[in-house]
C-alpha cells in the first residue's frame, strides 16, 4: 500500500494521504489488514447472535464479543488518537472516531460503536487504494530515475552511479536499459522509448550523431553514448525536480480546506459537547443518554475527511492526468490558473514553428556575387548560436564556400551580428581596407549604421525572414529564410477555442511579413512582430491592460521555448515552456512544461485543468451539503449512527471516487 507524508495539524490522519512525497508503507499493511478481517468476522458473528441469539446471549458475553471486534478493528485508531493527543494534535479524525465509538459503548450501543470503526476502516482502505491509483501517474514519472550507468573503461562495462559520471565519458546502453545521462550517440543504431519524458507513444530512431536523453529506454540495438551533461543538469533530473516540487504549490481551494478544517473541527467538537450536556438541563423530560447519542452521531457526521482527502486528491489526479499527456504542471495553484485561462500568447520560432530554419533564397545587390554575400554573412554570424545564424553558416558550407575569419564579432540582441573581416576577402571594387565592417541582421541593425535598404529589396518581401547584409557602408543584399509550421499548429488554435480560450496572439522578434503569414495560416486574433525580449514583456502587459480597461479580468498564458522567452514566461499569469527538455531558463521561469514539441497539448492540459476544477467544486458542494443536512438531522435526533457512518465514510468514498475522474482525459 502507498501512503504519503504530511504535517497538517487539524486533520493529520486524513491529510497524510494527500501529499506528493511517496513512500512505501506496506511493512505493517499485511498485519493491519489481517486484524481488520478478523475483527469484521467477529463483528459479523456478533450481529448474527444479536438478531438470533438465545438466552445465553447478552450481558458479559455480548460485551466480550463486541469489545473483541472493536479492539481488532479499531485498535490502530485508538493508538493514533493517543499519539495525536501526545503531539498536541487533539482534533484529528482518530480522536473524533475514538470519542464517538467509546461513547456508543458507554450508552450500550455496542454494535453501532464497532460499526463506526469498521466502516471507517473499510472506507480508509478504499481511500488508500484510490490514492495509490492516483499516484501511479506521478510515480511513473519517478521511475525514469536511472539507477546505474555503465561506463566503458578499456572496452569493459563498469557499473557506476550516474551522479559520478563525468562529462565526456563513454557509456554503454544495452537493449532494455534506461539511458542514464544526456549525451550524443557515438556508435550504434536503435530506437528510444521517450514516452515517460515527452508522452510520445512512438519510439524515436537514433544513430551516431543523434541526441539521447536521460530517462529514455533503449528498445533495440546496443548504443555507445558520449555524456554531454552531468546528472544534475540532465533531462531526467529536470523532470524529477518538477515532480518533487509539484506538491509544494497548493491551489486556493486546497489552502481554503486546510484553514477550514483547522477551525471547523474544534468548533464541531464544542458543538457536540454543548449538544450532549446543555439541552438536558433545560428541556423537561429530556433523557441524558439520548442527547449524548445525538452528540456522538453529530461527531461522526462532522468529520471533514471528505474534503481534506478529496480536494488535494483531485488536484493530484489532475496533475497526474496532465502528465500522462506530456504536460508537467508545477502545482495545484498553476493547474487552477490554467483552468481559468482565456487568452493564450505564443512565441513563434520553435513554438508554433519547428525552429529548423533553412535558406530559401539569396538576393545579392548590384556588384555583389552570391558567393561573396553568403561568405561574408556566414563570417559575421559564425559566433552566434541563433537558428538563423546556424542556417546561414550551414548553407554556405553546403555550397562549399570558404568562410573568412572574422574579428571583433558581437551580437546585437534581437537585431543580428556585427563583425570585421580582412578587406582582401571582399571583392567589391574600391574596398581594399584592412578591416571591413560586416553587418548581418534586421533592417534596424543596418539603419543604426545609417545604411538604408534600396527600393528593390521590398520586392523580395514575403513569407519568411530576411537577413540583410551590409559591407562597410554599402547595402550588399539579403538572405531569405523560412521556418516550417509544426504539423499540429493549425489544430492547436481550434482545440484551444473549443477548450474555452477566447483570444490567441503571437509575439515574435521576426519581421511583420513572416509573422503575418503564420498568424493568418493558423487563425490567430493578432500578432506583434519585431519585438526584443523586453518588448515582449511590455506587449504582454499592454494586452492585459487593454483587456482590464474593458472591465475584463484576463488570465493570460504565454507559451515559449527559449532563453529569450524567460522574462515573459515569468510575467504571464501562467508561463508554459514548450519542448521543456530544451532551455533550462525557460523551465525555471515556467509554471508548466510541455515535454513534447506539440503545442496542441496545451489544449489537452486546459481541458484537464477545467475538469479538475469542476470536480473540486462538486466535491465541496456535495460534502458540505450532505454533511450540513445530516448534522441538522443528528442534532434534532432524526439521524441514527448508521446514517452518521454514511455521512462520514460514505460521503468521503463518493468524493474520492469523483476525484479519480481527474485522471481520465
Q: Following DSSP, what letter does each residue of 96-136 receive, concatenated?
A: HHHHHHHHHHHTT-HHHHHHHHHHHHHHHHHHHHHHHHHHH
366, 471 contact by CB (below 8 A) = no
Q: Which residues contact 102 (CB under 8 A, 6 or more apart)?
A: 113
Helix (H) or strand (E) holding 93, with range, is helix 93-106
What length is written for the chain? 665
Cell triple for residue 44? 459479523
Active site includes 347?
yes
Q: How many angstroms separate the CA atoms of 57 and 72, rounded?
A: 21
Q: How many angstroms separate the CA atoms of 168 and 536, rounded?
A: 38
66, 111 contact by CB (below 8 A) = yes
Furthest-apart CA pair in the chain: how many Å? 125
Q: How many angstroms separate the CA atoms of 508 and 521, rounded?
A: 16
Please give the order of strands across the beta sheet that includes 406-412. 358-364, 474-482, 465-471, 435-441, 416-422, 406-412
CA 458 to chain centre: 46
By C-alpha distance, which of 516, 514, 593 is closest to 505?
Answer: 516
* Start-end of H helices in 143-223: 195-198
Q: How many angstroms separate the CA atoms of 403 and 372, rounded?
A: 10
Which of the residues 92, 182, 193, 347 is marked catalytic?
347
State the first-to-last Cα distance of the chain, in angstroms, to the nearest integer. 25
Give the residue numbers annotated as catalytic, written as ranges: 347
Amino acid at each position: 500500500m502507498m501512503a504519503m507524508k504530511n504535517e497538517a495539524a487539524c486533520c493529520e490522519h486524513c491529510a497524510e494521504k494527500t501529499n506528493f512525497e511517496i513512500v512505501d508503507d506496506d511493512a505493517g499493511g499485511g498485519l493491519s489488514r489481517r486484524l481488520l478481517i478478523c475483527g469484521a468476522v467477529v463483528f459479523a458473528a456478533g450481529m448474527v447472535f444479536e438478531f438470533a441469539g438465545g438466552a445465553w446471549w447478552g450481558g458479559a458475553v455480548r460485551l466480550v464479543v463486541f469489545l473483541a471486534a472493536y479492539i481488532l478493528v479499531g485498535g490502530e485508531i485508538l493508538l493514533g488518537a493517543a499519539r495525536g493527543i501526545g503531539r498536541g494534535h487533539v482534533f484529528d479524525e482518530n480522536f473524533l472516531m475514538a470519542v464517538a465509538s467509546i461513547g456508543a459503548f458507554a450508552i450500550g450501543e455496542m454494535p453501532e460503536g464497532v460499526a463506526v470503526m469498521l466502516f471507517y476502516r473499510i472506507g480508509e482502505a478504499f481511500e488508500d487504494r484510490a490514492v495509490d491509483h492516483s499516484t501511479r501517474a506521478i510515480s511513473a514519472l519517478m521511475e525514469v530515475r536511472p539507477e546505474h550507468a555503465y561506463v566503458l573503461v578499456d572496452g569493459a562495462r563498469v557499473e557506476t552511479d550516474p551522479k559520478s559520471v563525468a562529462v565526456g565519458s563513454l557509456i554503454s546502453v544495452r537493449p532494455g536499459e534506461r539511458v542514464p545521462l544526456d549525451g550524443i550517440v557515438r556508435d550504434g543504431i536503435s530506437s528510444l522509448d521517450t514516452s515517460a519524458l515527452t508522452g510520445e507513444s512512438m519510439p524515436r530512431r537514433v544513430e551516431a550523431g543523434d541526441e539521447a536523453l536521460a530517462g529514455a529506454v533503449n528498445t533495440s540495438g546496443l548504443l555507445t553514448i558520449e555524456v554531454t551533461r552531468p546528472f544534475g543538469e540532465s533531462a531526467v533530473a529536470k523532470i524529477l525536480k518538477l515532480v518533487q516540487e509539484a506538491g509544494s504549490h497548493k491551489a486556493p481551494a486546497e489552502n481554503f480546506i486546510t484553514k477550514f478544517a483547522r477551525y471547523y473541527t474544534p468548533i464541531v467538537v464544542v458543538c457536540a459537547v454543548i449538544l450532549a450536556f446543555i439541552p438536558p438541563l433545560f428541556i423537561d423530560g429530556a433523557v441524558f443518554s439520548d442527547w449524548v447519542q445525538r452528540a456522538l452521531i453529530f461527531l461522526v457526521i462532522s468529520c471533514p475527511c471528505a474534503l481534506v482527502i478529496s480536494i488535494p486528491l483531485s488536484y493530484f489526479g489532475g496533475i497526474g492526468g496532465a502528465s500522462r499527456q506530456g504536460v508537467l504542471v508545477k502545482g495545484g495553484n498553476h493547474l487552477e490558473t490554467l483552468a481559468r485561462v482565456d487568452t493564450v500568447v505564443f512565441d513563434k520560432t520553435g513554438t508554433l514553428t519547428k525552429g529548423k530554419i533553412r535558406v530559401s533564397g539569396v538576393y545579392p545587390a548590384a556588384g555583389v556575387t552570391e558567393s561573396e554575400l553568403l561568405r561574408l554573412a556566414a563570417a559575421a554570424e559564425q559566433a552566434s548560436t541563433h537558428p538563423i545564424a546556424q542556417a546561414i553558416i550551414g548553407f554556405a558550407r553546403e555550397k562549399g564556400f570558404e568562410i573568412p575569419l572574422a574579428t571583433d564579432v558581437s551580437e546585437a540582441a534581437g537585431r543580428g551580428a556585427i563583425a570585421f573581416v580582412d578587406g582582401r576577402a571582399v571583392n567589391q571594387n574600391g574596398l581594399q581596407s584592412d578591416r571591413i565592417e560586416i553587418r548581418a541582421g534586421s533592417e534596424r541593425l543596418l539603419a543604426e549604421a545609417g545604411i538604408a535598404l534600396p527600393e528593390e529589396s521590398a520586392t523580395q518581401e514575403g513569407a519568411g525572414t530576411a537577413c540583410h547584409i551590409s559591407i562597410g557602408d554599402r547595402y550588399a543584399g539579403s538572405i531569405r529564410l523560412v521556418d516550417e509550421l509544426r504539423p499540429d499548429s493549425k489544430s492547436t488554435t481550434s482545440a484551444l477555442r473549443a477548450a474555452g480560450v477566447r483570444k490567441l496572439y503571437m509575439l515574435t522578434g521576426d519581421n511583420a511579413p513572416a509573422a503575418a503569414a503564420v498568424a493568418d495560416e493558423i487563425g490567430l486574433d493578432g500578432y506583434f512582430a519585431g519585438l526584443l525580449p523586453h518588448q515582449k514583456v511590455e506587449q504582454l502587459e499592454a494586452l492585459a491592460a487593454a483587456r482590464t480597461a474593458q472591465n475584463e479580468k484576463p488570465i493570460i498564458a504565454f507559451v515559449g521555448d527559449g532563453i529569450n522567452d524567460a522574462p515573459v514566461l515569468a510575467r504571464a499569469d501562467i508561463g508554459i515552456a514548450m519542448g521543456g527538455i530544451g532551455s533550462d531558463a525557460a523551465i525555471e521561469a515556467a509554471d508548466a512544461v510541455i515535454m513534447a514539441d506539440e503545442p496542441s497539448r496545451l489544449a489537452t492540459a486546459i481541458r484537464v485543468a477545467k475538469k479538475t476544477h469542476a470536480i473540486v467544486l462538486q466535491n465541496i458542494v456535495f460534502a458540505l451539503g450532505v454533511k450540513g443536512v445530516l448534522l441538522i438531522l443528528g442534532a434534532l435526533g432524526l439521524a441514527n449512527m448508521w446514517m452518521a457512518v454514511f455521512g462520514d465514510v460514505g460521503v468521503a468514498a463518493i468524493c474520492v471516487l469523483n476525484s479519480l475522474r481527474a485522471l481520465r482525459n
